[in-house]
Amino acid sequence: MSYAVFPVLNGLMWDIKKRPTWNTAKMLTAGGNEFRTGYRQNPITEFDLSYSYMSLADKLTMEGFFNQQKGSLTPFYFDAQNDDTVTNFGFGTGNGTQTAFTLLKPAGTGASEPIGGPNVITTVYVNGVSTGAYTVSGNVLTFTTAPANTYPVTWTGSYYYLVRFNDDVLEFNQFSNLMYELMDCKLVSVQ
């Protein structure tokens, strides 16, 4: 499936908030024991964006994009500035039969999670050797020939988050002639 890409507009403030969130059920017994169950394999990531100024053209672009997505209905790609590239990042190990691998990105030190979708794949390596014998669909890379047993597979490139608007409302404020602000634009990742 092909997704639209969130527009890059002037006026984006640098206090971009990013929140990885989990869903854990906690139960406490009468004896004081606690039991926990996790309901997600990967976190949902939320972004809070604020635009301190927008030209009329930028306002119309954002409003049109929001309406094309029908508010929170349709997912789209979001390029999170300074959190969108990988260099020689591992996304699997060959076993001689598996050809399809989900592209991964870092999720903090020692953790990883699937990307929403690739922006640019610069290089794919199998056991440290560059290869172009693959296809990509969504966030899944499929090799023409399965990587040999124990061969690490890594990639270098840039990626998108797959997100949707958190709400069905955007509030634009016209603070001057032909100048607008959008102080509350929330996005949430889709799995």
pLDDT band of 1, cuts 50, 70, 90:
low
Mean pLDDT of the chain: 95
- At 39-66, the pLDDT tens digits run 999 999 999 999 999 999 999 999 999 9
Q: What is the pTM of this model?
A: 0.90
pLDDT band of 15, cuts 50, 70, 90:
confident
For 136-153, b/e burial (b = at least 16 CB within 10 A) is: eebbebebeebbeeebeb
For 8-29, b/e burial (b = at least 16 CB within 10 A) is: ebebbeeeeeeeeeeeeeeeee
HSE (side-chain half, CA atoms, 13 Å) at 52: 6
Q: What percent of the chain has pLDDT over 70?
A: 99
- At 102-145, the pLDDT tens digits run 999 999 899 999 999 999 999 999 999 999 999 999 999 999 99
Amino acid at residue number 118:
P
- At 26-43, the pLDDT tens digits run 999 999 899 999 999 999
Among 158, 136, 7, CA closest to 69 = 7
Find the helix or strand (DSSP H, E) in which 68 lies. Answer: helix 56-68
> 153 near 180, Cβ under 8 Å?
no
- Give the whole-angstrom CA distance, residue 104 versus residue 156: 11
Task: Give me 34's structure tokens.
Answer: 């606690």
